[in-house]
Amino acid sequence: MEEQAAKIRIDELREILRENSRRYYVDNAPTMSDYEFDQLMHELERLEAEFPQFDSPDSPTRRVGSDLDAPVGANAESQARQGFVQRPHRYPMLSLGNTYSIAEIEEFVARAEKTLENVRFSYSCELKFDGTAICLTYRKGKLAQALTRGDGVQGDDVTENVRRIDSIPQQLHGDYPEEFEIRGEILMPYAAFDALNREREAQEEAPFANPRNAASGSLKLINPEEVERRGLICTLYHVPAESVDFASHSEALDAAARWGLPVSPERRLCHDITEIKAYIDHWDQARKFLPYATDGIVIKINELACQRALGYTAKSPRWAVAYKFKAEQACTELLSIDYQVGRTGAVTPVANLAPVQLSGTLVKRATLNNADQMALLDIRTGDWVYVEKGGEIIPKITGIDPAHRAKDAQPPVFPSVCPDCGTPLVKAEDEAKWFCPNQDGCPMQIKGRLLHFVSRKAMGILAGDMTIDQFYAAGLARTPADLYDITKYQLLSLEGWQDRSADRFLASLEASKQVPFERVLFALGIRFVGETTAKGIARHFGDIDTLAAATQEQLLEVDDVGEVIARSITDYFAKPEHREQIERLRAAGLRFDGAGQDAAVSDALAGKTVVISGNFSISRERMKELIVAHGGKAGSSVSGSTAFLLAGTKPGPEKLKKCEKLGIPVISEEEFRAMLPKAVPASASLPSGGKKSRPRFAAEMPPEGNTLPAGESSSKETIEELTLF
């Protein structure tokens, strides 16, 4: 390759890798498989070695992927990941070199044996867990700090969230050191991952792509109670040699296990390449039956003196390497295609497959997303299709096996009418999905909206799929307002309902009348208005009447409200039937204004839009709440309406440049706190510890053997429904 062509390709690869690293570590929404990313990284490494004149310390080959500085995003998860204090790692957290080639593992072993000639050593072979890295510090046996990998030099302090993970002990036992670090991975088991995605899909939110992304996003939620609910687990696999006094890596992990720490029992000491290969071959098959995601094997020199002799590169230790499994794929028969209608009317094709085992789960269904993807795959019912879980992702069909196609196989015809109500489907020019426009007459949309309304994040009413189906079939509920008209007599007339189950349901209805306006607004199910957007809109307008009267221009003044959301809101309130439903809900006692919520502490920032950037003595999320508590508005980007930029340590350079260009003042945290009333200490200015108070209602749990309504079970999922938040 000529020098100029190499320079162009190197720059291109660096840009692609940086962008996809951000999507992977920060957004938790990768668009490239691990294998594709690693191949591009290896290509960049080869070119940089061949053309050293283009070497750069900022190259992705020299830097650890970073999960710091998550942007204020377009969805609730990304916005929730704001505001963690960043702290330095005592010892850098580096990444591992990786390969998909057994030949390269052989080369790693050969290099180690050559460098450590005449020294007896062994290899610790371990599963490579597909989660998000964590570094724990224990002092006097108590968990003192938990940091994410961050950029390897510093990480986000997620200690309070980690305290909610059951498998991580708060207090150790035995002969533990006075202070030490231990590192590992936060994982989301398949069962918890599937449950979380079912919940997200029920809310018509984008599902997480894989358990790693779900674990990473969950670990950085602002609310520790929500983190606890996500079912995360932890496996620890490395004690920095500088942190404790042991002769080998395996001795350190054995000691950690005695102290009560969750260390993987699947590791094995190997003595040569033959034993390493046998370990890899075993887990390439056995991993499919693990309850959590793994994506390879890590091979480490076991003796710590040998590790020190081999040392480190700028990015990775020379004494360890990761062998990554290629994306698991299976070929199975496409039995049929269903067309599902969501609560917003979107029609989604779903492939029904002959069951096939993939990455620890039995796959029976895979989404086909939309008509365009079906045409791109050129898929037919009866085809044998390739199903993949690259990096343990959600099952997707990646292609077909034409050799198995019947000669008379015909391409499926995407429905032109709604498969549920028969209404002709419509599709906007700028959208890939077809929609049923019969919002108020389509049974699936009606039941979908009822399920959304009663869900935990909305009104928290004690009802599941089967209950809503019952109500719909019996003619008791077509709209959310109908739920508040249901009587105990009507409930007892339904199959499976008894006094206690009826009382619990009615009590949950009564408790839902205390749900704050922002959640009521989310519960209405206005298209594109998610949980976070609803919160911003509710706080901006204050009550439903002001919101209903707002123009699109006024709606666009709200952070994160664009033209599509603004148009959806005005369209919603333009319909008389929607206004009628709101009046019925208001008459039932639901909150449609900010009454009962925390009042502002002062009006010191009234009328001021404040944009924050950098790190502060409290989290950025709490700093935003502090601004709102004193009458201000927390803006997301600098504009002409910004009163000032509140800059902590390491503020964003682009925001500083824009402030300078627009002449907007930049003030420090100390100057900001001086602006607040002295009668109320700034450090104590947040009501209820910085959180909005929320009513809680715990429905009485049924005694063992008590009958639940028809179709409901006493499973964990049903039990969780009984506690309303």
Catalytic machinery residues: 128
Sign of CA dihedral 45, 47, 50, 53: negative
* Contacting residues for 407 by C-beta, under 8 A, at least 6 apart: none
Radius of gyration of the chain (CA): 28
Distance CA 112, CA 263 (A): 26
Distance CA 515, CA 596 (A): 10
Distance CA 172, CA 264 (A): 17
- Whether the Cβ atoms of residue 346 and residue 433 lie closer than 8 Å to each other: yes
Antiparallel, parallel or unpaired: β 642-647 and 666-667: parallel
- Whether the Cβ atoms of residue 104 and residue 42 lie closer than 8 Å to each other: no
Distance CA 113, CA 108 (A): 9
DSSP string across 343-359 = TT-EEEEEEEEEEEEET
Q: Give SS3 for 592.
A: coil
DSSP string across 392-456 = GPSPEEEEEEGGG--TT-------SB-TTT-PBPB--TT-SSEE---TTT-HHHHHHHHHHHHST
Number of H helices, E strands in the chain: 27, 23
- Whether the Cβ atoms of residue 409 and residue 383 lie closer than 8 Å to each other: yes
- Whether the Cβ atoms of residue 509 and residue 461 lie closer than 8 Å to each other: yes
DSSP string across 205-274 = PPPPSSHHHHHHHHHT-S-HHHHHHTT-EEEEEE--TTTS--SBHHHHHHHHHHTT--B-TT-EEE-SHH
Distances 579 to 161, 566, 593 between C-alpha atoms, Å: 41, 17, 15
The 10 Å Cβ neighbour count of residue 109 is 19
Distance CA 116, CA 119 (A): 5
Antiparallel, parallel or unpaired: β 346-358 and 434-435: antiparallel
Which of 201, 211, 200, 220 shows the shortest CA–CA distance to 26? 220
Sign of CA dihedral 453, 458, 462, 466: positive
- Whether the Cβ atoms of residue 93 and residue 150 lie closer than 8 Å to each other: yes
For 644, what's the count of Cα atoms within 13 Å in the CB-facing half-sphere?
14
- Whether the Cβ atoms of residue 556 and residue 563 lie closer than 8 Å to each other: yes
Burial class of residue 146 in the structure, from the number of CB atoms within 10 Å of its CB (0-12 exposed, 13-18 middle, 19+ buried):
buried
Q: 3-state DSSP helix/strand/coil percent for the chain, to nearest 5? A: 40, 20, 40
